[in-house]
A and B are shown apart, each in its own frame.
Chain A
């Protein structure tokens, strides 16, 4: 047990801290809008930073060199990530591709076509999106209906995907399709990767409740792709899905965005009955509770790291981090509004504290409890996979997919 850097790790940390200080993009000149995800200016800064990192060997640090990485260790990558967060220059655009999808792709498919996609993704020139969820199946990701039918050397894909983060700007997607509806539902699935510009594929942005449109619907009408873009075996796609989802939860649970430090700053500058909110015992008690929870998320990420550095897959325990992070974020924004009292209603960048970041996060936080696995699914995983409690009675196992009851 040791949470301090080893001398070697400390040296690495000093090196990357200096390198980041010398090379990181300057965000200070950006307005509130430009600081938000998916703003074109913001995205361009992120792309250039990713390329700078790739040139210096700081992108995909832990990937082997022959797969486009820097051949470093998981610990080094984690240290670099921490320093990026500390410097306020961590971006999420490439995470889906680099943390979830490409590792799974390379695990199952290493032909030249797939390998060619790696360098541009590592440099941030190409963005990947995940095309799993459908209108009738989100939590139940194996319940998808989008079909892929074999036609000679090709597959022809038809159906609809939904909630696809970043699909409107993505260059490539990884897609889950049903290849045999006569098999039980987990057995008839296959994963493919495809160019988002393939004919027959149409992306329509969805406006979310906070007003942004970074989620999408993706419609596929007889989209034809070669068999070489299949990932893993035919009808064995569920295996690929599992590895991407576990990576997703590990990445999501690592906690980004507003922190307890922002809450201290806010409370310190917000007047209370006497003095500032920081002197209110009830707030202090809340802060202490909040801190132990979010600090646990940070510390638990070291456990994930420890298993990674031993070459083990991150286990179902990362579900706890995901659950905590999303719920505590919603609670924190609620608290931030509350301590500002009536004024907490204001969300305009001109008047609101921190350009309205708390209010914006308040309107985003419900999505955090859904994306990447809902609260309820996280709790089921903890109860069943960690605690060994029996699963729900299933009506969708061991019957052909087409016979499973469904609503809308």
Chain B
């Protein structure tokens, strides 16, 4: 039992924090906010690529650096804290995890080295319209080696080189690998509540594509596959959310110390004290669940599905709560464009929606808990 990062992991995290405070001050996120095209900071992305972070969880055999998944979680926490406006989540937590989890040997060998170095960007394209994802509402189709349809929104869809697309194949929903810079791909930037994380609408017209995985043909289990990939993404994102939420709490605390009303520091009023204490407790809940997720991810434990959904639910709630109450603590200043509070408010809601909303994840968590209890009962009656 060890509820903490190891010394080496802590050193990596400290180094990442120093590096990011140098190359990714909030001014970088703000620059992208002010000029949302192309939806990320290319210089920052290059610097992060040079650190080898994109390949942190990719084995050396595929051009990665094999630090490990807990190390990747530590980096995610720092990237979230820094509000880095880069496609790291799409390329690393989604695309790379998808390939590692479900790609064929050839696909891994072919694509992961570019992802690991940061030279290439990947993303997942699954949504098509309002509402939760379900098999019945996928209208993008795959047949005879080509995709046709529109995906909307696709986070980082405007800048990604590669995509994994959820589409209906012969056997049902499946995941397909597509070269986004190839023929038959039309991309249009779309406006979202968090312009520091770009998104696009992508239309495929007879676009060459291949099924993700070794079989060479789909099995119709694309939705379940996507959920398993997103379980992994959820844990990594939870660390970004925890990192952001902690920073936001520090912002609120600092302001509560320096701001006076009625002749007293506002932090001396219980309304503010209890508000910040509530943020702290939610952050603790999120951190605890995220750590458990990191362990499950790194060890590929059977607890992974429950741990992932729990990490996501706790972290989405904590970050959103911290951000809205941080603005509240700041008073009028917190409501301005100039103050940094809204950068976090936007990002918190972006992260809370980008791989599916809270209500869907809560439902998943409850389903998985019920399944776990059923399994436990079955095992007990066997014994």
Contact = CB atoms under 8 A, between A and B. Distances in A.
Interface string A369-398: 111001110011000000000001011100
Contacts of B259: 407-408
Given A136-B260, A374-B331, A395-B264, A341 B133 contact: yes
A404 B260 CA distance: 10
Interface in B44-84: none
B152 to A, nearest CB: 7
B341 A282 contact: no
B342 A209 contact: yes
Contacts of A394: 262-263
Contacts of A215: 332
A230 to B, nearest CB: 26
Given A138-B331, A341-B357, A271 B130 contact: yes
Interface residues of A, number: 62
Contacts of A396: 262-264
B258 interface: yes
The B contact surface, by secondary structure, is mixed
Nearest to B346: A363
A348 B195 CA distance: 11
A207 B335 contact: no
B345 interface: yes
Given A338-B353, A338-B359, A143 B261 contact: yes
Interface string B113-135: 00000000000001101111110
B193 interface: yes
Interface string B327-338: 110011011111
A407 B265 contact: yes
A379 B328 CA distance: 14
A204 to B, nearest CB: 12
A345 B331 contact: no
Contact of A347 (B193, B201, B360): B193
A366 B271 contact: no
B269 A367 contact: no
Contacts of B137: 271
Contact of B193 (A140, A330, A359, A408): A359
B186 interface: no
B364 to A, nearest CB: 11
Contact of A351 (B126, B190, B271, B339): B190
A66 to B, nearest CB: 38
B132 A366 contact: no
B30 interface: no
B149 interface: no
Nearest to B323: A366
A399 to B, nearest CB: 8
Contacts of B339: 209
Contacts of B258: 407-408
Nearest to B326: A366
Contacts of B341: 209
A213 B322 CA distance: 25
Nearest to A369: B328
A324 interface: no
Contacts of B153: 342-343, 345-346
Contacts of B346: 363
A366 B327 contact: yes
A404 B263 contact: yes
Q: Which of A140, A280, A337, A346 has the most CB of B within 10 A?
A: A346
A380 B342 CA distance: 26
A346 B263 contact: no
A271 B328 contact: no
A337 B260 CA distance: 35
Nearest to A383: B271
A138 B260 contact: no
B271 A380 contact: yes
Interface in B124-180: 126-127, 129-134, 137, 152-153
B376 to A, nearest CB: 26
B271 A348 contact: no
Interface in B308-362: 320, 324, 327-328, 331-332, 334-339, 341-342, 345-346, 349-350, 352-360
Interface string B260-286: 111111000101100000000000000
Given A347-B192, A363-B342, A270 B263 contact: no
Nearest to A366: B327
Nearest to B195: A347
Contacts, number: 178
Nearest to B272: A376
A339 interface: yes
On chain B, which size bracket covers the interface? 35 or more
B261 A137 contact: yes
B134 to A, nearest CB: 6
A162 interface: yes
Contacts of B331: 138-139, 370, 374
Contact of A376 (B199, B271, B352, B359): B271
A321 to B, nearest CB: 18
A346 B342 contact: no
A40 B269 CA distance: 42
Nearest to B197: A345
A27 B19 CA distance: 53
A343 B332 contact: no
Given A341-B132, A366-B324, A376-B271, A138 B353 contact: no
Contact of B131 (A137, A270, A407): A270
A376 B314 CA distance: 26
Contacts of B134: 271, 273
Nearest to B132: A341
Nearest to B354: A342
Contacts of A363: 193, 342, 345-346
A163 B260 CA distance: 18
Contacts of B265: 407
A37 B360 CA distance: 34
A353 interface: yes
A52 B197 CA distance: 46
B221 interface: no
Contacts of B350: 345
A395 B342 CA distance: 33
Contacts of A272: 131-132
Contact of B127 (A143, A343, A359, A406): A343
A89 interface: no
B130 A341 contact: yes
A334 B321 CA distance: 11
14 contacts: A143-B263, A209-B341, A271-B137, A277-B131, A283-B359, A338-B359, A342-B127, A346-B152, A351-B152, A353-B130, A363-B193, A371-B332, A376-B271, A392-B264
Closest 5 pairs (CB-CB, A-B): A396-B263, A209-B342, A407-B260, A271-B131, A348-B191
Given A339-B359, A342-B357, A392-B269, 6 more contacts: A338-B352, A341-B132, A342-B133, A353-B130, A374-B331, A395-B263
Interface of A: 133, 136-140, 143, 162-163, 206-209, 211, 215, 269-273, 277, 280, 282-283, 330, 334, 337-348, 351, 353, 359, 362-363, 366-367, 369-371, 374-376, 379-380, 392, 394-396, 404-408
